[in-house]
Chains A and B, each alone.
Chain A
Amino acid sequence: MSRRMGHPIQPMPRRVPRVVTVVAAALAAAACGLTGCSRPPATAARAPEATPYTVRLDMKELMGHVVDPGAWAFWRASGTVTTQTGETSLTPTTEAGWESAESGAAQIAEAGNLLLLPGRKRDDGDWVRFATTLSRQGLEAKAAVEARDTHRMFETGAAIYQTCTGCHARYVMPYLPPPSGKPTPLPDWPKDVQDRQSRFNAAKGTGR
């Protein structure tokens, strides 16, 4: 046990009851857990064992089952809907609603780490920057939910989307098949609308 925990535990005197030994060992283990046991083990020369993680979920599944559900759980918890009859807030009204938003934020934070696993990480530059930004924003989102700060939740939600879009623009869009043929141009504005735009621009230009 002492070797596993990273530092030797002095042998207990034989007269000490066995139950005390067990309790002492448990306390030492707990303390070790709190401090992190940063001292190097006596057998530091041993080669580190491989971490048995798996990246069997491909990027589509990671996005569809982890990132998107987390993002949506968070996004859905802020904002408003305005109609002729007034405005409705999407802020959670129940503990379950807040919990869902917080869990979504935590998912986003951890998703950034998942994107950095070898086998998923595409490079050491922009990919890492996007992934770590996502993690940081996920933690900010979680903190905003914990503080019940809907304004911060809304702002952080927008920032998370910008990170998603930036990453997709860098790592997805360039690999999409080019559109077949040229897109059809947008229609011209009708004459009366052009006149209205001209009047607005003229007024803006003269400071009126």
Chain B
Amino acid sequence: MTPRLALPAGLALAVALAAALAAAGPASAHHAFAAEFDGNAPVLLRGKVTRVEWINPHAWVHLVAVSPGKPDQAWMVEGGTPNTLLRAGVTKATLKPGTIIIVRGYQSKDHLCTPECRANGRDVTLENGEKVFMGSSGTGAPKDGADPNEK
């Protein structure tokens, strides 16, 4: 039997996969960008790092974002694999709790902030002024110029 990859089948697979993955929480996020994040909800967060999860398949950076005239807000920002971040120059030393970072990315599609707002991180500026791509390539994230591997 010669299997076929008909477009509708592939489309159905992708939609089903996206739907299934969208139902998963952040702790089990392993997904296409569009399944969980809103390409029309960009965010810029500036704040102090409170917690960093150096875990596969995605590192998670938690911070309390401060914004003039607004109450402080806790965010958790998804990054690429820890190895990707390390190769890009982000280490446990440069991203330790207490350091202030500025992150750009896209908020989760549900826009929920309980207990924390969630975002997909695209790039981050560290305290020393170094700007680093912090996302994953090949997930279907918007072509926003943040990913140096973007084709």
Interface residues of A (CB under 8 A from B): 58-60, 63-64, 68, 71-72, 75-76, 78-84, 90, 118-123, 154-155, 157-158, 160-162, 164-166, 168-169, 171-177, 179, 181, 183-187, 189-190, 193, 196-201
Chain B residues closer than 8 Å to A166, beta-carbon distance:
138
User: Which residues of B have CB within 8 Å of A58?
Assistant: 13, 16
| A68-B30, A75-B57, A200-B130 given; A186·B139 CB < 8 A | no
B131: min CB distance to chain A, Å: 5
A78 adjacent to B140 (CB under 8 Å) = no
13 A-B residue pairs with Cβ-Cβ distance under 8 Å, sorted by A, are A71-B57, A76-B55, A78-B56, A155-B83, A157-B56, A160-B57, A172-B10, A176-B11, A183-B142, A184-B40, A189-B44, A193-B125, A197-B130
How many residue pairs, one in A and one in B, have C-beta atoms under 8 Å apart?
171
Whether A81 lies near B54 (C-beta < 8 A) is: yes
Interface contact A72-B44, CB-CB below 8 Å = no
Nearest-neighbor residue (CB-CB) of A60 within chain B? B16
* Residue pair A179, B34 in contact (C-beta under 8 Å): yes
Given contacts A82-B92, A84-B98, A186-B42, contact A72 B28 (CB under 8 A): yes
Q: Tell yes or no: B22 within 8 A of A by CB.
A: no
Given the complex of chains A and B, what is the CA–CA distance between A110 and B96 in angstroms? 38
Interface of B, helix, strand, loop or mixed by DSSP? mixed
Please determine whether B32 and A172 come into contact, CB atoms closer than 8 angstroms. yes
Check if A186 sits within 8 Å of B146, measured CB to CB.
yes
User: Is the beta-carbon distance between B40 and A79 smaller than 8 angstroms?
Assistant: no
6 tightest CB-CB pairs across the interface, nearest first? A200-B129, A183-B39, A175-B10, A79-B55, A196-B129, A183-B142
- In the complex formed, the residue of B with least CB distance to A87 is B92
Complex alpha-carbon distance, A119 and B137, angstroms:
29
CA distance A185 to B98 in the complex (A): 29
Query: B56 contacts A81, CB within 8 Å?
Result: no
B17 at the interface (CB under 8 A from A): yes
- Give the docked Cα–Cα distance between A183 and B137 (Å): 17
* Cα–Cα, bound, A176→B139 (Å): 11
Which residue on A lies nearest to B4, using beta carbons? A122
B57: chain A residues at CB < 8 Å are 71, 75, 157-158, 160-161, 164
- Give bound CA distance, A143 to B82, whole Å: 21
Q: In the complex, are the beta carbons of A82 and B51 less than 8 A apart?
A: yes
- Expressed in whole angstroms, the minimum distance between the Cβ of A203 and any Cβ of chain B is 8
Q: Are A172 and B13 in contact (CB under 8 A)?
A: yes
B117 at the interface (CB under 8 A from A): no
**With A81-B54, A165-B139 in contact, do A183 and B144 touch (Cβ < 8 Å)?**
yes
Q: Tell me if B97 counts as interface (CB < 8 A to partner A).
A: yes
Taking the closest CB of chain A, its distance from the CB of B1, in whole angstroms, is 5
In the complex the two chains form, what is the Cα distance from A116 to B129 in whole Å? Answer: 48
